[in-house]
Amino acid sequence: FWQMSFTQPDQTVLAMATLRGRPLVLNFWGTWCPPCIKEMPDLDRFARGPFAQRGGRVLGLAVDNPTAVREFLARSPVGYTIGLAGFDGTDLSRQLGNTTGGMPFTAVFNRQGAVVQRKLGITSAAELEGWTKDL
């Protein structure tokens, strides 16, 4: 996972290795997924709050068509990093513990790069803060 890289909507490349060593909330989402869209404002608030002040990052990996993601973000921008995983992102989410491949799926990584929390379904800022307060 830490050797992977993802193109971002602005065509720049995000190397996962650059995020290692800091807490990371990784969220798999799609523009076609109503629960994914519903949780995005909470993820955005969380990404800008105390978690960021502690060095944490939020990364949304879009399991979607790049054009659809760019159009969606033009209408509904977020302040956290977005990577384009394409439909192969479902396989990656399974490798990280998402046994059903459903979305949204969130994995929380500690500073050592290990997954310490997983959730299939909508998360909230309060839930995320609870999971990450000691990272």
pLDDT digits (tens, 9 = 90+) for 23-45: 999 999 999 999 999 999 999 99
Span 96-122, pLDDT tens digits: 999 999 999 999 999 999 999 999 999
Q: 2 falls in which pLDDT band (50, 70, 90)? A: very high
pLDDT of residue 32: 96
Backbone angles phi, psi at 17, to 5 degrees: -55, -30
With 0-12 / 13-18 / 19 or more C-beta atoms within 10 angstroms meaning exposed / middle / buried, residue 102 is middle
Tokens of 43: 């993820």
pLDDT of residue 35: 98
pLDDT of residue 92: 96
Q: Which long-range contacts (CB under 8 A, 24 or more apart) does 109-112 make?
A: 109/23, 109/24, 109/25, 109/26, 110/23, 110/135, 111/21, 111/22, 111/23, 111/135
Contact criterion met (CB below 8 Å) for 119 and 105: yes
pLDDT of residue 103: 97
DSSP string for residues in 54-118: TT-EEEEEE-S-HHHHHHHHHHS--SSEEEE-GGGHHHHHHHTT-TT--SSEEEEE-TTS-EEEE
Mean pLDDT over each residue of the chain, to the nearest integer: 96
**What is the torsion angle, in degrees rounded to the nearest 10, for the CA atoms of residue 2, residue 99, residue 105 and residue 101?**
100
pTM of the model as a whole: 0.96
pLDDT of residue 25: 98
pLDDT of residue 129: 94
pLDDT of residue 36: 98
Q: 5 falls in which pLDDT band (50, 70, 90)? A: very high
Q: Which residues contact 124 (CB under 8 A, 6 or more apart)?
A: 39, 42
pLDDT of residue 9: 97
